[in-house]
Amino acid sequence: MAPDPIPARPFPTLECRNCGAGAPVDEHFCPQCSRILALGRHGDYFSFLGVPRRLTIDPAQLERRFRDLSRQFHPDYFYNASPSERLASLERSSYLNDAYRALRNPISRIEHLLAIEGLPPAKSEGSSAGSGQTAAKVPAGLLEEVFELNEQLDEIRESRESGTDAAVLRDRLDSARKPIDLKREEHERKVELLSAQWDQQLDAGDAAAKRATLEALRERLLERNYINNLLATIDREAANLEARADSSVRL
Amino acid sequence: MGKVVGIDLGTTNSLVAYVRDGVPHVIRDASGDALVPSVVSLGEDGTFFVGREAQRRLLTAPSRSVYSVKRFMGRGIDDVRDEAALLPFNVGGQPGGVVRIGLDDREFTPPEISAFVLRELKQRAEDDFREQGEFDFEVDRAVITVPAYFNDAQRTATRDAGRLAGLEVLRIVNEPTAASLAYGLDQRDRGIIAVYDLGGGTFDISILKVEDGVFQVLATNGDTHLGGDDIDRLLVELVLAEIGPGGSKEQHANGGSKEQDPPYVSQPGIVGRVLLSRPAEEIQAIRKAVIEAKLDLTEAEEAEIRVETLAYRRPITRAEFEQLIRPLVERTIQPVRQALADAGLEPSEVDEAVLVGGSTRVPLVRRLVSELFGRTPHSELNPDEVVALGAAVQADILISGRREMLLLDVTPLSLGIETMGGVVSKIILRNSTIPASGREMFTTGVDNQTSVDIHVLQGERELADDCRSLARFKLRGIPPMPAGLPRIEVRFQIDANGILSVAASELRTNIAQTIEVKPSYGLTDQEVERMLIESFEHAQADVDARLLIEARNEAESVIHATEKSLRRPNFAEIAAVDLQAGEQERIEAALDAVKQAMAGSDRDAIRERTHALNHATQHLAEVMMNRGVREALAGKNVKDV
């Protein structure tokens, strides 16, 4: 299936450094002299790749598009070109690689969509500082599970320090993990539903409904970060148990 | 425009190849040998030997002969101290700076040593083109391969070496990827390829997806300090342990003096010296012997390590050999697993496994790769030559604009910058397709601050101390503003060579920032320029040395011929009959003059006086010749009668 045609912009926003002709921002080559165009300030990976702004993308089609554009931009083919064309080739190739990387993965695809639709990034404040969930606000749908898990983790830590058998603790950790795994599965389903909803609205939805879907997607991403942090905490505790089991064997 | 070649600059051997009529060829010497040993030796008269000749000198002049220099490219002395201890040449350098190698009273950086090898390859290619009757035979551009897991500093050092050798480096290509190009020429199929590349000093694993002529690397991993050299070292250590320090086996058995570990004496600023417990000649003789045994064990079940000079002989079975090297070979498993995981693939999803590098001839390595991927690996192409062939193909793509094939490689290591508390903030993640770019915003912490320091690192660890320091940048010229107000955008660009460049601008004022780069383990542009100039000067010095030798040789032969005439038993009679008055005295004076000049090293004086002696003896030579002819004719007449 050929990608949908890119809607023409009313005003040219790129200027060819070779012939001075104007070109729409999503053009890669000058319509007049067919030289590669400097990238300019492009911000939309979907339109750059020439694919519609959908969250359901056929990976094989996206990959073909990536390969086609790579063959057009790659610096290998601009070795003998002018310095400005070489720079344009380097910039376009880099941008293409970034775009493909972002759209290939369903979650980073949503993140990019939210960014170009003008929503604030769905990054919980505490996550980059490394300390994890303590700094971030607990998403409403997770309150119960988080409370339960923290209680159990505290107990497991205490038992670990008082020397309870590692196998017993591992079982307890596994059962503490189960509700979080279930939440994670439920979360995946919700993300899929919302993504499908967005794709339908893209063709026929009104602005308010689309906005609501995007907000909901953003909430889901915040929730996702939180769930992943919880799972990471459980994994760390499991690693602690393993380490202790190892050292006791050695002793 | 001159010719373009592809070069595999290896730890142990190097090769040069080029494409003719669409087909890559490796350039061989007269005896059909394509491998140029990556060995450089400084002769006692100041001239350099490269390749086979230098390799022979490893045994006779080990302290003046450098090998495996690739292991030191882009590295600091702190990184290589342990392995330097077993090398017979001087390895040193300032802590925190590049490695320096001492030869005689001169000091060289690894790129300078590598440049000697590259010049030899360039020469070899030019000779080949000239022999084919090419009018334009000069080689001025090259694609050079590096291990996929080389970091920025190691890549930059390789490019510097090319520049020093007078080559414009069109592209730095990863060895496993180059190999896949060479394979892809014959088999235009599609699928997932795993390239397992175990060379002399480095290990790489690359997972590629091939489709429509696009060779896309999905993930790469490796170890830049794992290869055949390490196998050799284990064997050398085995032999050393058996013969004991400072003597033969018997001495060791008698208890003898157990020497301490060889002391490493580092003299900051000048070349550090590695003291070995045994003479360097012995170490090299042992090394040569174990390599021969290792090669024998590729085919044979049993071989012998034989060091004639030490009267040492020892049988070694393949089982024993494999037991010894197994831990080394198994160090390749984790990188393979990581690369597959990064590519999101199971081993069973790999369609083809390809073996590259001389060390993949070791049967244990082949077995391991078969087990890892559950299939027999490909080795149709010579594992020593396949990388150079691929480099030639890539060079051809670059200059011809052919678009049937395209390599999309990745950056092997994440790139990041140091933030508060020594934590690394990642900007470009490992296995990102290159070229790749990333940007990061900075601001100031103090009112009217006009510069910001940025520390760039490469690696996967969280803390700056655990990553590889690439460079420190200073952003200057920030307009004075209250703290936190400037918005400085720093853009990181990794090009298709996997080499980083950085640009920055302050977004409020749109003022571009100047960036001062201090590479942590590399050479600055100024240093490379200086080395270029020096290498030209040395090239001139080398030419001078050669011309002096030629002048001396010519003088020798004229002196010899003259003295031979003067010493003839019947010379007094000849002089009396055929020479003019004073002629003999003039000849003797000219002879003395040449001998005097020979005591010095003034090439022009030697040549002038040789010329004068030639002139002075011209008449004598004619006389001698006429006499000779007469005698011959006389003899003939007698015979004829």
pLDDT over threshold 90, residue B622: no
pLDDT over threshold 70, residue B268: no
pLDDT in tens, B287-335: 999 999 999 999 999 999 999 888 899 999 999 999 999 999 999 999 9
pLDDT given for residue B196 in this prediction: 95
B205 Cβ contact list (under 8 Å, min separation 6): B176, B194, B195, B196, B197, B220, B221, B222, B332, B335, B336, B339
Residue B314 and residue B308: Cα distance in Å, rounded? 11
Mean per-residue pLDDT, B423-430: 88
Interface test with A, best of B4, B404, B423, B437 (most A CBs within 10 A): B437
pLDDT given for residue B147 in this prediction: 92
ipTM score assigned to the predicted complex: 0.80
pLDDT given for residue B601 in this prediction: 80
Average pLDDT over chain B reads 84
pLDDT given for residue B217 in this prediction: 95
pLDDT in tens, A85-124: 999 999 999 999 999 999 999 999 999 999 999 888 776 4
Average pLDDT over chain A reads 82
Per the model's pLDDT, the better-predicted residue between B97 and B166 turns out to be B166
B8 is catalytic: yes
Amino acid, single-letter form, for residue A4: D
% of chain B surpassing 90 pLDDT: 41
B-chain residues near A101 (CB < 8 A): 432-433
Main-chain phi, psi angles of B531, to 5 degrees: -65, -35
Q: Does B441 touch chain A (CB under 8 A)?
A: no
Pick the catalytic residue from B112, B128, B197, B229.
B197
Residue B290 and residue B303: Cα distance in Å, rounded? 10
pLDDT over threshold 80, residue B54: yes
% of chain A surpassing 70 pLDDT: 86
pLDDT given for residue A247 in this prediction: 56
pLDDT over threshold 50, residue B251: no
Q: Does B437 touch chain A (CB under 8 A)?
A: yes
pLDDT over threshold 60, residue B102: yes
C-beta of residue A124 within 8 angstroms of C-beta of residue A221: no
Q: Do A80 and B432 touch (CB under 8 A)?
A: no
CA B42 remoteness from chain centre = 15
pLDDT over threshold 70, residue B271: no
B629 Cβ contact list (under 8 Å, min separation 6): none
Per the model's pLDDT, the better-predicted residue between B198 and B1 turns out to be B198
pLDDT over threshold 60, residue B223: yes
pLDDT in tens, A171-210: 888 888 888 888 889 889 999 999 999 998 888 778 889 9
**Which segments within B83-167 are labelled E, that is strand?**
90-92, 100-103, 106-108, 139-146
Mean per-residue pLDDT, A123-138: 47
B175 is catalytic: yes
Q: What is the DSSP letter of A7?
A: P
pLDDT in tens, B567-621: 888 888 888 888 888 888 999 999 999 999 888 888 888 988 998 998 898 888 8
Per the model's pLDDT, the better-predicted residue between B539 and A127 turns out to be B539
pLDDT over threshold 50, residue B252: no
pLDDT given for residue B602 in this prediction: 83
Q: Does B600 touch chain A (CB under 8 A)?
A: no
Q: Does B499 touch chain A (CB under 8 A)?
A: no
Output the pTM of the full model. 0.77
A74: its two tokens: 């790659």
pLDDT given for residue B541 in this prediction: 65
pLDDT given for residue B185 in this prediction: 61
Pick the catalytic residue from B175, B384, B418, B506.
B175
The chain B residue lying nearest A80, using CA atoms, is B399
pLDDT given for residue B124 in this prediction: 92
B-chain residues near A100 (CB < 8 A): 433
Mean per-residue pLDDT, B185-199: 81
DSSP string, B209-274: EEETTEEEEEEEEEETT-SHHHHHHHHHHHHHHHH-TTS-HHHHHT----PPPPPEE--TTS--EE
User: Any idea what the Cα angle at residue A66 is, between residues A62 and A71, rounded to 5°?
Assistant: 150
Mean per-residue pLDDT, B184-206: 84
Q: Does B457 touch chain A (CB under 8 A)?
A: no
pLDDT given for residue A48 in this prediction: 93
B141: its two tokens: 């551009």
SS3 label, residue A70? helix
**Which strand ranges, in their side-by-side order, compose the sheet holding B65-66?**
B48-50, B40-42, B65-66
Q: Do A101 and B406 touch (CB under 8 A)?
A: no
Q: Do B403 and A98 touch (CB under 8 A)?
A: no
pLDDT in tens, B473-514: 888 888 888 988 888 888 888 999 988 888 888 888 877 766
Longest dimension (CA), chain A: 78
A-chain residues near B401 (CB < 8 A): 77, 79-80
Residue B362 and residue B379: Cα distance in Å, rounded? 12
The top-scoring range by mean pLDDT among B82-91, B453-462, B518-527 is B453-462
Distance from CA of B134 to the nearest CA of A (A): 23
Q: Do B401 and A77 touch (CB under 8 A)?
A: yes
